[in-house]
Structure 1
Amino acid sequence: MKAETIIKQQARNSLADQNWGVALAAFIFPACAFFMAQTVNSFSVIVRGASVEELANAPFARPEALLFFLLLQVLAVGILFVFSPVFVGAAKLYTDIAHGRQGRLSTLFGWFSGKHQYGRAVVFSLSLAVRNVLWALLCFFPCGFFVVLLRNFSVEGSGPLQEGIRLLWYFFLVLLILLGLALWVVLTSRYFLAPYLFLYKEELSAKACVMQSIFLMKKNKGRYLRLVLSFLPWLLSCFFVIPALYVVPYFQTACALSARWMLEEAGEGIP
């Protein structure tokens, strides 16, 4: 039996032990924080009556709209970091479930219990987020460049040839997006163990957790990517939103189990 199959079976068994409710909460609460940030982001465009495209084309035509837009963008990012300990708490909750413990809802908010815990969680989240965003900018830069080309060198006319060229261009854009996403998953897989090291190695700084994860994942990257690929059909179903209520807790618990195996093999077992 493949390791991925064993991990997935153990994840289902762990969740079936009266843990589905709290596992679902570990998905919903962070999702609400993300939704709040996205709502603020949308509000910045709606209130001022200016689209993102208009502001991009003529950023100084309406300086008050641009300023309001930028301020709310900062607020949206700020919301994510203010609530970032919830994301850390969710990782802890999934790890507890993966270890056969009874999940507790209070675990989600454990990093709000003190200034040291809260600050440590925010610094770690910021450190990891910056790295992931920088890799995303690199991976999706060709997509952005191609979009600029499409806007500046649009195909004129409405004949069959022109429609075929447009279709080919959009197909190429989708291909670039998929390739960028795949490359981003591969490149950021080096940080997979960082949250789990952060949870139980309090003596390590945020940077040390990331660096140690990069070192340990050199031997484990293939195992992690195989696990992700085994979940690919499930993850694709999340585009329909409702399946995510099942898939995300299942996937996160499986990831926590996989991380446990990797850390135990490296002599860094999670207690």
Structure 2
Amino acid sequence: MSRERIIKQQARESLRGNITALIAGFLALAVMGVIIFDVPVFAAYLLNLVDAESGEVTGDSFLWYLLLEFGALVLAAVFSPLINGFFRLAADTAVKGGCEINSFFYFFSSPRRYFRTLAVNMGLCALYSLLTAPLAIAGRLLGGVLPEPAITAVLVIWQIFVYIFFIHYPLAAYAINDSRPAYYYVFGFIGFSFRCSGALIKLIFSMLGWIALCFFIIPTLYVVPYLAVTLMNSARWLFAMNNKI
């Protein structure tokens, strides 16, 4: 039996009795995302900050639109520890074999833990932006030269690889053990992520059939928790083998 099959089998066994909490956490994240990112867009149209036909910001409304977008980003940062909370649910499921919904709010449990989580998230966000922004800018400059679908595909693939190489393992490690300083999670897993990226990519490819089901709403409620626990299960064994947590 292949390593990927064993990891997925362990994840399915861990999900028994825990799927409800993971679904609830995922739904809470989805609702939060809609409120933070979609409501400001709706408000911009409602307040006539954006032209309904062209979709462009009207000249004298640019500052208000900018403030609206900035407010959405601030809210996303303030509530970002809920993302870590979902990772925590997956970590408890994979490592302990059981999770409770209160783990979703674990990183709000004390001011010190909350602000350290913000530091980790903002550090990883800055690293992600630093690595993806240059290609995004180049894509805009080449917009009239290369086909738009090709540019979009390259950008999406690069963003996925940046997540694999720099973001996934730090978030997983922080969910399992958050006792280290913030800089350890931001910078301490870069080499590890490169060394173990092949295992992560291979596992993701083995689950492409499941991921494809996310085009439909109902299967997503099971697939996302299953994917989260499977990836966390793989990460925790790799961390143990490399003494990273």
Task: Compute the TM-score of the two structures, normalised by the length of structure 1.
Answer: 0.81
211, 214, 223: which is aligned to 1:235? 211
Structure 1 portions without partners, runs of 5+: 151-168
Q: CA deviation at 1:244?
A: 1.7
Name the larger-Rg structure. 1
1:106 counterpart letter in structure 2: N
CA distance in 1, matches of 2:217, 2:66: 29
Q: CA deviation at 1:20?
A: 0.9
Q: CA deviation at 1:261?
A: 1.2
1:117 aligns with 2:93: no
CA distance in 1, matches of 2:69, 2:210: 32
| DSSP-derived class of the 2:218 partner | coil
Calculate percent identity across the aligned residue pairs. 25
Pair 99,201 (structure 1): closer, same or farther in 2 beyond 3 Å: closer
- Map 1:50-69 to 2 at 5 A: 50-51=50-51, 53-55=55-57, 61-62=59-60, 65-69=61-65
2:6 counterpart letter in structure 1: I
Cα contact 2:89–2:104 (8 A) shared by 1: yes
132, 135, 151: which is aligned to 1:176? 151
Q: Describe the superposition over 1:64-101 as per-residue Cα deviations: whole angstroms up to 9, x where unpaired.
A: x2122111101111111111121111111100101243
186, 190, 198: which is aligned to 1:214? 190
Pair 83,239 (structure 1): closer, same or farther in 2 beyond 3 Å: same
Q: CA deviation at 1:38?
A: 1.5
Pair 43,227 (structure 1): closer, same or farther in 2 beyond 3 Å: same
Pair 4,244 (structure 1): closer, same or farther in 2 beyond 3 Å: same
CA distance in 2, matches of 1:108, 1:221: 27
Q: Describe the superposition over 1:141-162 as per-residue Cα deviations: whole angstroms up to 9, x where unpaired.
A: 3432343x27xxxxxxxxxxxx
1:164 corresponds in structure 2 to none
CA distance in 2, matches of 1:228, 1:239: 16
Q: CA deviation at 1:202?
A: 4.1
Structure 2 portions without partners, runs of 5+: none
Supply the RMSD in Å over aligned alpha carbons. 2.1
- Map 1:1-271 to 2 at 5 A: 1-16=1-16, 18-49=17-48, 50-51=50-51, 53-55=55-57, 61-62=59-60, 65-147=61-143, 149=144, 172-190=147-165, 191-269=167-245
Cα contact 1:143–1:176 (8 A) shared by 2: yes
CA distance in 2, matches of 1:76, 1:174: 28
Cα contact 1:111–1:117 (8 A) shared by 2: yes
Task: Compute the TM-score of the two structures, normalised by the length of structure 2.
Answer: 0.89
| DSSP-derived class of the 1:268 partner | coil
CA distance in 2, matches of 1:202, 1:240: 34
